[in-house]
Chain A
Amino acid sequence: MGNFKLSRFVDNNRALLMLMVVFIGLALTHPNFLNSYNLTTILKSASLYSVVVIGFALIFIIGELDLSVGAIVMMGGMLAIGLEPQLGWYGSFAGAALAGVVIGLVNGLLVAKAKIHSFIVTLGMMTIVLGLMHIYSGGDTLSTEDYDLSDWMDTAEIPLLPPLVIITLCLVLGANFFFNKTRFGRGFFVVGGNKETAWLAGLNKDMYIVLAFVISGMLSAIGGALFSMSLAAMPANVNLANNTLMAVLAATIIGGTIMSGGKGNILKCYFAVLLLSTIFNGISLFGFSYDIQIFVNGVILAIVVLYEAFAVYKHDAVKGQNPKLLQSMLLSRKR
């Protein structure tokens, strides 16, 4: 039975273990991987996805799907840059976050109250938000002349940790604490595990669903705002939205969150984001191009989906049967 426990341990911590394996592998094979500049680059490039993944994983935990995160990231970035001349950085940041809250609220109300499938709601919302943002920006890159903020966010006063990364880490750790340790946060898992049971147990399930979409919308917008602030520009490129959705989806699945809801861990999803960023970093260090990144991301996602499906398949095959009896039968058949 010792073997069985090991496999469960590996499965539970797969994101962290894979990250360690990839990290050590790259450190051994590439001389420039371990210098502090490169490590900071990895952490910085992971910051957008790791803010977005909190909300995305939360939506998974509650048993829904949010395809609009990529579009909201674009919106957050656009508004943070576009509103800055009128409102200043604090105002534009708050404006972006507020817009994210509004979009999330609409999503959540349509899913929880109008009872439309979240796949449809967020698909429609993605189209709407992308269209609005193209109208807002006129299809051009929005940029700002004020580089002070982006310089501040990108310079590492503490080794390895520029303010951008520190903000990200605070958000991830705060969310992890909130969803794992507080009574209110655990409610999301209860609702995601079984909505009827949660309702019977006295939880307001509609409120939890709306709140999950609001949090997801807000964090996506904040992620986009932080991204554009550190870049001092926001390209009106649909690929940015698509890539964010793709990477965040892969990270959420690798992090052990299941789509049927009720199970997941924000910290593991963060490790999965770091894993993807490290792999992308390694790919570009070795001089491979962007298409390999997409390919690798797709292959990793496919393998993890297959692995999960196979685990369920194996579990279903022996469901309701005595495993010891089954094993002895298999053994006798071999003889």
Chain B
Amino acid sequence: MSQVENVAAESTNSPGRKNRGKLQISKTQVVFEKAGIYVIALILIIIGSMVSPQFFTVDNMLTVLRSISLLGMVVAGAAFVTYIGEYADLSIPAIIPLSGIVAVFALPLGVVPAVLLGMLAGLMIGVMNGLVIGYLRANPILWTLAVVFFMEGLMRFMMSNNQIYPDVSPGTAGADFIGMYRSEILGIPTIVVVMLVLLAISHWVLRRTKFGQQAKLVGSAYEVAKTSGINVKRTVMIAFVLTALSSSVAGILITSFNKTGVYYLGQGYDFQAVTAIVLGGMTLSGGRGSIVGVLGGVLVIGLLSNLMTFMGVHPFQQKVVIGTIFILVVGLNQYQLRKMGKDHG
């Protein structure tokens, strides 16, 4: 494993070296590559403070954190799929409602079994994705899209297009279940804590475990990883299982927030997750980026929509702005990488 570490260490040090032929790499470029998304977040905060004195306050920043926490949870797992070079897991909108619906169904057993069963249901989709994409090498975009369609159809059919409500009278498991989203730990909303814990775990997994090291190599060069003896199929599968796990945690909390389990709860989370991950500096070619950067991507999305709401921008117009910024930032990032000779795509 030490070889992989050496490769990783070298690639992070190399821009600082002086002898790199004709490549002209300035310090600002390196800073932009490493911390670019936080620079953007800082700019957004400065603009926000100029727009309204209420923007940069503890209350509003907590609102921003709360609004991004569910996306942050999803991304904590979904980042692995992009990191490992499998583009994106578009089946997140199926995992989220499925775990929520199963959890609500299992509520008579108590809150903890319900949550565990919900996560198990999400996990099953992850295992299925992992088997098909990891072992059979199916195209990840096509397969996960197919999963979304037939799971949505299945959920709609099984529940005949209805929603499922937990029994929320005080003292029951249902009351505890819907209280999960609204509870606080030491004055900080639980969901924010859960998001930070999940992101910290996945940062640790990505940087410090054998799986994380192998994922970097699989993402950078699949064939090389295969011939150097890494179990590539299992590595890809684990990435999809991690996505499903973190998405099902988010799904249960979304259901707890909405007080209903229904098939459309996860809509939009797939594309938001891709946006956040790619804004955070992970490239679709795989093997590049970090969870810290992805957290920055999630923060930027939250700050941006909060700022636009402060400025009175209509949600439809927000969509246009976010889409434009998405393409611009990714394009700029890729241009920088190409200039530094780090991108061969």
Contact = CB atoms under 8 A, between A and B. Distances in A.
A134 interface: yes
The range of chain A's interface size is: 35 or more
B201 interface: no
B157 A298 contact: no
A259 B330 CA distance: 23
B150 A295 contact: yes
Nearest to A295: B153
Contacts of A293: 153
B193 to A, nearest CB: 30
A20 interface: no
Tell me whether chain B's interface is mostly helix, strand or loop, or mixed. helix
Interface in B76-95: 87-88
A297 B153 contact: yes
A123 B271 contact: yes
Interface string A293-318: 11111110110011011101100100
A126 B270 CA distance: 14
Interface in B282-329: 284-285, 314, 316-320, 322-324, 326-327
Contacts of B213: none
A119 B88 CA distance: 10
B139 A130 contact: no
B319 A127 contact: yes
A292 interface: yes
Interface stretch (A92-100, A110-118, A202-210, A266-274): A110-118
B146 interface: yes
Nearest to B271: A123
Interface string B57-97: 00000000000000000000000000000011000000000
A120 B331 CA distance: 9
A234 B147 CA distance: 29
B150 A302 contact: yes
Contacts of B241: none
Contacts of A294: 149-150, 152-153, 156
B224 interface: no
Nearest to A65: B141
A246 interface: yes
B116 interface: no
B20 interface: no
B131 to A, nearest CB: 10
A110 B331 contact: yes
B323 A291 contact: no
Contacts of A301: 142, 145-146, 149-150
Contact of A127 (B132, B141, B156, B271): B271
B323 A127 contact: yes
Contact of B327 (A116, A259, A302, A306): A116
Contacts, number: 140
A143 to B, nearest CB: 20
Contacts of A139: 316
A291 B157 contact: yes
A128 interface: yes
A128 B275 CA distance: 13
Given A124-B323, A292-B157, A293-B153, A298 B148 contact: yes
Nearest to A238: B267
A310 B139 CA distance: 11
A222 to B, nearest CB: 23
Nearest to B263: A291
Determine the interface band of chain B, counting residues with CB < 8 A from chain A.
35 or more
Contacts of A87: none
B137 interface: yes
Nearest to A249: B145
A131 B316 contact: yes
B154 interface: yes
Contacts of A305: 138-139, 142-143, 146
A15 to B, nearest CB: 16
A301 B143 CA distance: 8
A313 B136 contact: yes
Contacts of A297: 149-150, 153
B323 A302 contact: no
Contacts of B338: 115
A114 B331 contact: yes
A334 B253 CA distance: 53
B137 A123 contact: no
B316 A119 contact: no
B111 to A, nearest CB: 30
A130 B315 CA distance: 12
B335 interface: yes
A87 to B, nearest CB: 24
Interface string A244-276: 001001100100000100000000000000000
Contacts of B317: 131, 135
A226 interface: no
A205 to B, nearest CB: 14
B29 interface: no
Contact of B331 (A65, A116, A249, A309): A116
A191 B216 CA distance: 30
13 contacts: A114-B331, A119-B141, A126-B271, A128-B323, A131-B319, A292-B157, A295-B152, A295-B157, A298-B146, A298-B153, A301-B145, A309-B139, A316-B137
Given A120-B330, A127-B326, 14 more contacts: A65-B141, A117-B284, A123-B274, A124-B324, A127-B322, A128-B319, A128-B320, A132-B320, A134-B319, A246-B145, A250-B146, A297-B149, A302-B146, A308-B138
**A-B pairs with lowest CB-CB distance, top 10:** A295-B153, A298-B150, A298-B149, A131-B319, A291-B156, A127-B323, A309-B138, A294-B153, A128-B323, A302-B146
Interface of B: 87-88, 132, 136-139, 141-143, 145-154, 156-157, 161, 271, 274-275, 278, 284-285, 314, 316-320, 322-324, 326-327, 330-331, 334-335, 338, 345
